[in-house]
Amino acid sequence: MPDDVTDAGAYVQQVAESLINGLNSLDREITGVLSNWTGGAATAFSGGWSETKEGAATVLNALATMAELLGATSKAFVSQDTVNAAGLSSLNLPKLNI
Protein backbone atom coordinates (compact mmCIF):
# COMPACT_ATOMS: atom_id res chain seq x y z
CA MET A 1 0.00 0.00 0.00
CA PRO A 2 2.71 2.59 0.82
CA ASP A 3 4.25 2.07 -2.62
CA ASP A 4 0.86 2.73 -4.23
CA VAL A 5 0.48 5.94 -2.23
CA THR A 6 3.99 7.02 -3.14
CA ASP A 7 3.32 6.25 -6.80
CA ALA A 8 0.06 8.20 -6.67
CA GLY A 9 1.88 11.14 -5.10
CA ALA A 10 4.54 11.06 -7.81
CA TYR A 11 1.89 10.91 -10.53
CA VAL A 12 -0.08 13.80 -9.02
CA GLN A 13 3.15 15.80 -8.74
CA GLN A 14 3.95 15.20 -12.42
CA VAL A 15 0.44 16.22 -13.44
CA ALA A 16 0.59 19.35 -11.27
CA GLU A 17 3.97 20.36 -12.72
CA SER A 18 2.73 19.80 -16.26
CA LEU A 19 -0.40 21.87 -15.66
CA ILE A 20 1.55 24.65 -13.93
CA ASN A 21 3.96 24.78 -16.89
CA GLY A 22 0.99 24.89 -19.27
CA LEU A 23 -0.61 27.72 -17.31
CA ASN A 24 2.65 29.69 -17.32
CA SER A 25 3.02 29.17 -21.07
CA LEU A 26 -0.55 30.27 -21.70
CA ASP A 27 -0.03 33.32 -19.50
CA ARG A 28 3.01 34.36 -21.55
CA GLU A 29 1.01 34.05 -24.76
CA ILE A 30 -1.94 36.00 -23.39
CA THR A 31 0.36 38.67 -21.98
CA GLY A 32 1.83 39.04 -25.48
CA VAL A 33 -1.63 39.41 -27.02
CA LEU A 34 -2.71 41.92 -24.36
CA SER A 35 0.41 44.02 -24.91
CA ASN A 36 -0.92 44.90 -28.39
CA TRP A 37 -4.66 44.84 -27.70
CA THR A 38 -6.40 47.98 -26.48
CA GLY A 39 -9.93 49.07 -25.75
CA GLY A 40 -12.80 48.00 -23.58
CA ALA A 41 -12.80 44.39 -24.73
CA ALA A 42 -9.09 44.09 -23.97
CA THR A 43 -9.59 45.54 -20.51
CA ALA A 44 -12.49 43.20 -19.78
CA PHE A 45 -10.58 40.18 -21.07
CA SER A 46 -7.50 41.13 -19.07
CA GLY A 47 -9.50 41.30 -15.85
CA GLY A 48 -11.16 37.97 -16.55
CA TRP A 49 -7.86 36.36 -17.42
CA SER A 50 -6.26 37.62 -14.21
CA GLU A 51 -9.05 36.07 -12.13
CA THR A 52 -8.88 32.82 -14.09
CA LYS A 53 -5.09 32.63 -13.79
CA GLU A 54 -5.17 33.27 -10.03
CA GLY A 55 -7.87 30.65 -9.52
CA ALA A 56 -6.03 28.08 -11.59
CA ALA A 57 -2.76 28.80 -9.78
CA THR A 58 -4.48 28.28 -6.42
CA VAL A 59 -5.92 24.93 -7.52
CA LEU A 60 -2.65 23.75 -9.06
CA ASN A 61 -0.63 24.75 -6.00
CA ALA A 62 -3.10 22.79 -3.85
CA LEU A 63 -2.63 19.81 -6.17
CA ALA A 64 1.16 20.04 -5.80
CA THR A 65 0.77 20.24 -2.01
CA MET A 66 -1.47 17.17 -2.07
CA ALA A 67 1.22 15.28 -3.99
CA GLU A 68 3.83 16.22 -1.40
CA LEU A 69 1.54 15.16 1.43
CA LEU A 70 0.87 11.80 -0.22
CA GLY A 71 4.60 11.13 -0.31
CA ALA A 72 5.09 12.30 3.29
CA THR A 73 2.13 10.23 4.49
CA SER A 74 3.49 7.12 2.81
CA LYS A 75 6.93 7.60 4.35
CA ALA A 76 5.42 8.21 7.80
CA PHE A 77 3.28 5.08 7.45
CA VAL A 78 6.28 2.92 6.55
CA SER A 79 8.33 4.42 9.38
CA GLN A 80 5.60 3.84 11.96
CA ASP A 81 4.96 0.32 10.66
CA THR A 82 8.67 -0.48 11.03
CA VAL A 83 8.70 0.85 14.59
CA ASN A 84 5.60 -1.15 15.47
CA ALA A 85 7.01 -4.33 13.92
CA ALA A 86 10.28 -3.96 15.85
CA GLY A 87 8.32 -3.92 19.11
CA LEU A 88 6.61 -7.23 18.42
CA SER A 89 8.23 -10.49 19.33
CA SER A 90 7.72 -13.67 17.40
CA LEU A 91 4.57 -15.67 17.99
CA ASN A 92 6.53 -18.75 19.13
CA LEU A 93 4.13 -21.09 17.41
CA PRO A 94 4.71 -24.82 17.91
CA LYS A 95 6.13 -26.75 15.00
CA LEU A 96 3.61 -28.64 12.94
CA ASN A 97 4.01 -32.40 12.70
CA ILE A 98 3.18 -32.95 9.10
Q: Give the pLDDT of residue 82.
A: 67
95 in a domain, yes or no? no
Q: What pTM did the predictor assign? A: 0.67
Helix (H, G, I), strand (E, B) or coil at 24: helix
- Residues 6-52 have pLDDT tens digits of 788 888 888 988 999 999 999 999 999 999 999 999 999 999 999 99
The three-state secondary structure class of 67 is helix
Q: Per the domain annotation, does 91 fall within a domain?
A: no
Selection from 57, 77, 75, 61 nearest residue 12 by Cα = 61
pLDDT tens digit sequence for 44-98: 999 999 999 999 999 999 998 888 888 765 666 666 666 666 666 666 677 888 7
User: Is 98 part of a structural domain of the chain?
Assistant: no
Q: Provide the number of structural domains found in the chain.
A: 1
Which domain, by its residues, includes 71? 2-86
